[in-house]
Amino acid sequence: MSPPARACRVTPDAIDPRELLESSVTPSDGAALLFWGVVRNEHGGRAVQSLEYEAYAEMAERKMQQIADEARERFGTGAIRIVHRVGLLAVGEASVGIAVAAPHRGEAYEASRYVIEELKRRVPVWKREGYVDGERHWVPGYTPTVEKGD
């Protein structure tokens, strides 16, 4: 079964967990797993007040769809949807939601973990932390590896 249209999205809007789950689960699924990434109040020992997410949206959606397709094929799950939020987020708000539906739960756990790890390695999204003292800085991340030799 192919995933629903626009299964993977970058959006400035709040992520709706019910919509993510319900649009992923089909009658042959017995479980779904929702990964919910949220803004923490501290990072590296420093108090975080807000997080600003930026994405290269067109490429990020393409990469998220590639990762979802890889996970579906590798673990044999049902639909996988990934929604990443951009813009200014407060502590406790969700930055990413990943729904993985599957006939059985084992595959859902493996695929969900695969998706979040790969997302952090390859999807062009950045975040800038704002501290209580007003300072901001870009959070150091992963340098994506280019598969073909250069």
Partner 1 sequence: MVVRSLFFASFRDLAGTGELAVELPAGARVADLVAHLRRPGSPLASIPERPAVAVNLEYAPLGTALADGDVVAFIPPVAGG
Q: Are 58 and 9 in contact (CB under 8 A)?
A: no
Give the residue, chosen from 7, 79, 96, 100, that forms a contact with partner 1 under the rule CB under 8 A: 96
Q: Which CB atom, from 21 or from 59, has the smaller least distance to a copy of itself? A: 21
Q: Which CB atom, from 55 or from 79, has the smaller least distance to partner 1? A: 55
Binding range to partner 1, per CB under 8 A, among 21-29, 49-57, 69-77, 106-114: 49-57
Shortest Å, Cβ 70 to a copy of itself = 19
Q: Please spell the DSSP secondary structure of 9-29, one letter per residue.
A: EEESSPP-HHHHHHTT--TT-
Separation between Cα atoms, residue 17 and residue 8, nearest integer Å = 14
**For residues 100-119, which are near partner 1 according to CB under 8 A?**
116, 119
Separation between Cα atoms, residue 3 and residue 43, nearest integer Å = 35
